[in-house]
Amino acid sequence: MRTPLGLLVVALLSAAAGWAFHRVFPAPDLLLVVAPAAVVPPLLALLLRARPLWLSLLGGVVLWFAATVPLYRGLPLGLPADLADSWQALLTTLLPAQPEPRLLVLVHTLVWIASTVAAETLVRTRARLAPAVPAIVVYGVAVLLGVDGEGENLTTGAAVLVLCALLATVRDERPVSWLLALIPVIALAAYATGPLLPIAAEPYNPRQHAELPPPKRVDGVSPLDRVSAWLQVPTRPLFTVKADRPQNWRLAVLDRYDGVRWTSGARFQPTGGRVPQGEWGGAAEIVRQEIVFDGLPGAWLPAAERPSEVEGVPGLIVDPDSGALLASEQPARGFTYRVTSRLAKPGRQDLLDARPAAEPELLLFPPGPQEQLFRRLAQRATEGADAPIKQAYRLQKYLRENAKNDLTAPPGHSLKGLEFFLETTHRGTSEQFASVFALMARTLGLPSRVVVGFRPGAERDGRYHVMSGDVVAWAEIKFEGLGWRPFYPTPGKSGAKDDHDVVSQAIEESQQLEGEFTQGTTDKPQQSKGGADSTESTPGDGGPWWVPIPVALAALYGLVALMLPWWRRRRRRAAADAGGRVLGAWQQTCDDLGVRRQRALTAEEVVARQPDQVVRHLKPLADLSNVARYAPGDMAGAAADEAWRHSDAVRRAVRGSTPLKARLKRRLLLK
Amino acid sequence: MSIQYGEQTSHAYQQQELAAHFAQRFQHLAQNIERVIRGKREAVELALICLLAEGHLLVEDVPGTGKTTLARSLAASVDALYRRIQFTPDLLPSDITGVSIFNQAHQRFEFHQGPVFANIVLGDEINRASPKTQAALLEVMEERRVTVDAEPHAVPRPFLVVATQNPVDMDGTYPLPEAQLDRFLMKISVGYPDHQHEVEVLKGMPSGPPVEQLPVVARAADVAGMIDFATRIFVADPVYDYIVAIVAATRHSPYTKLGASPRASLALLRAARVKAAAAGRHFVIPEDIKALAIPVIAHRLLLTADAELNDRTAPDVLGEILAGVPVPQAA
């Protein structure tokens, strides 16, 4: 009976270890993979335990392969290659990963191997804890691979620990109180020392060492090149958005400029839908959108800044730095997906304190004489600004006031063209305004990039209908701690304010803030990110909610460990009949001597192992216990009293010869 | 051990007194034999337990360690009929059991008893006789009677067969089959004496008499009475469970091809009762079981090839089993 029970624990242990991948894969898909891999090998080991090991292993391999057939929904012809590539694929995927067979097969195989090794070890050896080792290894792998994912490993870790203790108990009749006692001790030690570890602030992440794919050229035509064309044909429907509130919909982010074109240096990574949070961790506004494709060309996926969750896009890849979304192939008309975005809402002090990020590649200016012109004009525009944010606002204001938004202006954003725009025409579209702003900002030491997106569009039937004429380009500057902040240097058409114009609202806000800054009404930098006006909950000041639990468990354990021997002794001394009291005295003495666990020892053998000063009292007590247990008839009360006198004498002798530290240790370990 | 703590009935008190008397006589016998077999108290006590449990003893050891002397000393200490059979390859079954001879005067067949008709029979080098002759001992060892020409002839009581065999020099021998081994209550070895006792042997044993001069310290009727008393020793239910647990463990051990039979359980129980009485107790404790388990059970086990390849002997395997089977604990 003990072997089937042990195998059941092995199956649960393997399942718990496999479940630790819940930070890597969505739960329903993970369950379908982990359950058979955890259960089948123990069953097989039980059935074939009397057969040779090779037969069991061969059967395991056959069943493992058979179990991959439903996973792949067919013959897994590419199984070896998938297994070889899955590590690299998982390490370069943003979590949660897409539940694709080529990735899930890794979990399936790891759990299967762990379950097989554990089950065969259990049925073919007498090892007590060795069967738990494979599951612990799998758990470790899962924790490492899931360090970036959402959720926590505390529950699965606790489950693995408890199941290990259970396995040790099942494997041996002796209770494993030392192991059970270890659970709260480990929890307490982890709680006390965990924050002091160097990796506590930033857990080790194997993805840091993974070689990411090279920058991907995602589209033959740069979205910035399309801006003028779309503006010429403004009525072409591109997509519709159902959202909580109107926003500018970002399409592409371009951060590299070679003097002719803006391109993207994004390193896109696959993801199951989660997009890593940007640099800003403070107050934010959540916007949910449902976007339906109409005639938007290319594989870029529009969304409000900054996406945190994407649903409904198979093969989604994302640039973790910019948050730009890309489908693996051109979406068809009617393609629908949902995005949850997080709009940073830094406070006034946060903006004032902001310092430009130290990223030299975002300050690169193409070689040529134009740099001097851009720098001179930028310095003139920002004269008197004593903070980077003020420089950016003044630059924005300068462009909005000294140039006109003209849809008929010639397209292009080459350096020569932008120079002509700045010096001569002062007319252009958002393509030129955003480009010029970004380059002028770079001359001031403000790291910048260009974003192509759309205005919210016209609202109809509860949806925002975005047309080609809604296209707009704007610039962004990266600040330390704040991340990317948008700036809209393009003035409105004919000075009019568009419906749902986020740009106009942003300009008004910036003008208001810039005015306050100029008037010197700001306080000195004090406030940190995420002020009192946060609209999203931030981690509480009192630490995680579960923190008191291990402390309470440890306190409870300590109380039980201290009180249990006293209660047990009292109960034994107060047994109803004399025989029971004699046997209680013997048990108590065995506890005091630390031989309670050695259940195969007879009373005579217990006596033979003790020193002389103990034997003097122990031998008569052993004889009494033998009479009480194995002789016919009842014991007299005097015998019970004498038994307890001997027991007390042995206890005194043991206490006298055992150091306090050893006694305390024995008590805490419930020995 | 004196037991003065129980609220005992007169019967229990009487049993306790009788057990003390039994222990006294047992010690007397053991001390008497020890005057010849020096320094081998354990072997002597086991031989006596075998006699009082109505079992048979197989002594296996190298030549010259005192196997035969042990049997002779045992016989000499009891006023009982002692016969010795030297087993040789040409020994016939009728040489052991006896033969029917036609008496012309009375015009009928008369049974002439063989040497097996004695209280203590020494079968020296039993493995040198043919299996057919060895098998002649089977019936008498188990049923304590010899059947010749469909006529049963009972052997006297007490009846003890002490067989010896040599574990080395196995050429021309016939190892005892499992069925016959199972009929021996115990298998023991005497072992070499320690330095001091071997020196005494060399000096001509000045402190001890030769076997022929050993005083008789018990009559056959006394021994029969002790045998009867031992069967009445009390055994508590947990002790029965303990015996069965040990025997069952021999059947499930990965190192045994054949575990101990129920006959082994019965043998262990009988021997434990005698040991308890010899200790002055009127009840059996697990210590008795544990002390006798190896001599009573080990020779009945057949080990697997794995165990033999790993140099594990039956006593080793049984020792591991005993170290793993929990002793009955207090409720």
CATH number, domain at B35?
3.40.50.300
Examine residue A219 and state whether it is found in any structural domain, yes or no: no
Tokens encoding B45: 């006590």
Write the CB contacts of A576 (distance below 8 Å, at least 6 apart in sequence). Answer: none
Round to whole Å and give the CA distance between A33 and A76: 15
Check whether residue B134 and residue B278 sit in a common domain. Answer: no
Closest-CA distance, A602 to chain B, in angstroms, reads 6
Examine residue A637 and state whether it is found in any structural domain, yes or no: yes
| Tens of pLDDT, residues A22-69 | 888 888 888 889 999 999 999 999 998 888 888 889 999 999 989 888
Check whether residue A303 and residue A362 sit in a common domain. Answer: no
Check whether residue B46 and residue B189 sit in a common domain. Answer: yes
| Per-residue confidence (pLDDT) for residue A542, from 0 to 100 | 46
Closest-CA distance, B7 to chain A, in angstroms, reads 5
Tokens encoding A590: 């065995």
Check whether residue A340 and residue A355 sit in a common domain. Answer: no
Examine residue A539 and state whether it is found in any structural domain, yes or no: no
Round to whole Å and give the CA distance between A121 and A113: 12
Residue B117 CB: number of other CB atoms within 10 A?
Answer: 21
Q: Give the pLDDT band of residue B3 (cuts 50, 70, 90).
A: very low
Examine residue A258 and state whether it is found in any structural domain, yes or no: no
Residue of B nearest to A172 (CA): B324
Q: Give the pLDDT band of residue B325 (cuts 50, 70, 90).
A: very high
How many domains would you assign to chain A?
4
% of chain B residues with pLDDT over 90:
35
Examine residue A485 and state whether it is found in any structural domain, yes or no: yes
Examine residue B52 and state whether it is found in any structural domain, yes or no: yes
Round to whole Å and give the CA distance between B19 and B25: 10
Examine residue B90 and state whether it is found in any structural domain, yes or no: yes
Q: Give the pLDDT band of residue A665 (cuts 50, 70, 90).
A: confident
Check whether residue B169 and residue B287 sit in a common domain. Answer: no
What is the β-pairing status of strands B82-86 and B120-124? parallel
The 3-state DSSP class for residue A476 equals: strand
Check whether residue A112 and residue A143 sit in a common domain. Answer: yes
Examine residue B4 and state whether it is found in any structural domain, yes or no: no
Residue A190 CB: number of other CB atoms within 10 A?
Answer: 14
CATH number, domain at B288?
1.10.8.80
Check whether residue A294 and residue A182 sit in a common domain. Answer: no
Instruction: Give this complex's ipTM.
Output: 0.81
Check whether residue B183 and residue B225 sit in a common domain. Answer: yes
Check whether residue A491 and residue A634 sit in a common domain. Answer: no
CB A627 within 8 A of CB B5: yes
Examine residue B2 and state whether it is found in any structural domain, yes or no: no
CB B180 within 8 A of CB B138: yes
Check whether residue B86 and residue B224 sit in a common domain. Answer: yes
Check whether residue B242 and residue B322 sit in a common domain. Answer: yes
Check whether residue A338 and residue A354 sit in a common domain. Answer: no
What is the helix (H) or strand (E) element at residue B154, kind and residue range? strand B151-154
Domain, as residue range, for B305: 234-331
**Closest to A365 in 3D by CA, of A444, A476, A480:** A444
> For B50-66, what is the mean pLDDT?
87
| Tens of pLDDT, residues A152-209 | 887 888 888 888 878 877 776 555 566 666 667 777 777 777 666 666 666 777 877 7
Check whether residue A205 and residue A289 sit in a common domain. Answer: no
% of chain A residues with pLDDT over 70:
87
Residue A559 CB-density burial (10 A; 0-12 exposed, 13-18 middle, 19+ buried): exposed
| Tens of pLDDT, residues A144-159 | 888 877 788 878 888 8
How many pairs of residues across A and B have Cβ atoms under 8 Å apart? 82
How many domains would you assign to chain B?
2
Examine residue B3 and state whether it is found in any structural domain, yes or no: no
| Per-residue confidence (pLDDT) for residue A437, from 0 to 100 | 92
Domain finish residue from B217, B232, B247: B232
CATH number, domain at A405?
3.10.620.30
Mean pLDDT score of chain B, rounded to an integer? Answer: 86
Q: Give the pLDDT band of residue A524 (cuts 50, 70, 90).
A: very low
| A631 neighbourhood in chain B, CB within 8 Å | 3, 6, 12, 234, 236, 281-283
**Global pTM value:** 0.49
Examine residue A559 and state whether it is found in any structural domain, yes or no: yes
| Per-residue confidence (pLDDT) for residue A521, from 0 to 100 | 37
| Tens of pLDDT, residues A266-279 | 778 888 777 877 77
Mean pLDDT score of chain A, rounded to an integer? Answer: 82
| Per-residue confidence (pLDDT) for residue B29, from 0 to 100 | 93
Check whether residue B256 and residue B112 sit in a common domain. Answer: no
Domain, as residue range, for A450: 350-518
- Roughly what angle, to the nearest 10 degrees, separates helices B262-278 and B237-252? 140
Which of A262-271, A537-546, A577-586, A639-648 has the weakest average pLDDT? A537-546
CA A183 to chain centre: 24
Round to whole Å and give the CA distance between B272 and B292: 7
Check whether residue A324 and residue A416 sit in a common domain. Answer: no
Closest-CA distance, A39 to chain B, in angstroms, reads 27
Check whether residue B122 and residue B164 sit in a common domain. Answer: yes
Check whether residue A304 and residue A354 sit in a common domain. Answer: no
By Cβ distance, the residue of A584, A602, A630 closest to B290 is: A602
| Tens of pLDDT, residues A215-231 | 555 556 678 888 888 88
Domain finish residue from B198, B232, B266: B232
Domain finish residue from B232, B257, B289: B232
Interface of A with B (CB under 8 A): 173, 583-584, 586-587, 599-605, 623-636, 638-639, 642
Examine residue B184 and state whether it is found in any structural domain, yes or no: yes
Check whether residue B218 and residue B267 sit in a common domain. Answer: no
| Per-residue confidence (pLDDT) for residue B2, from 0 to 100 | 42
Examine residue B83 and state whether it is found in any structural domain, yes or no: yes
Check whether residue B225 and residue B244 sit in a common domain. Answer: no
Check whether residue A322 and residue A461 sit in a common domain. Answer: no
| A572 neighbourhood in chain B, CB within 8 Å | none
| Tens of pLDDT, residues A526-573 | 333 333 333 333 334 445 566 667 777 777 777 787 778 888 888 888
Tokens encoding A542: 């009192």
Examine residue A171 and state whether it is found in any structural domain, yes or no: yes
Strand partners, A340: A288, A309
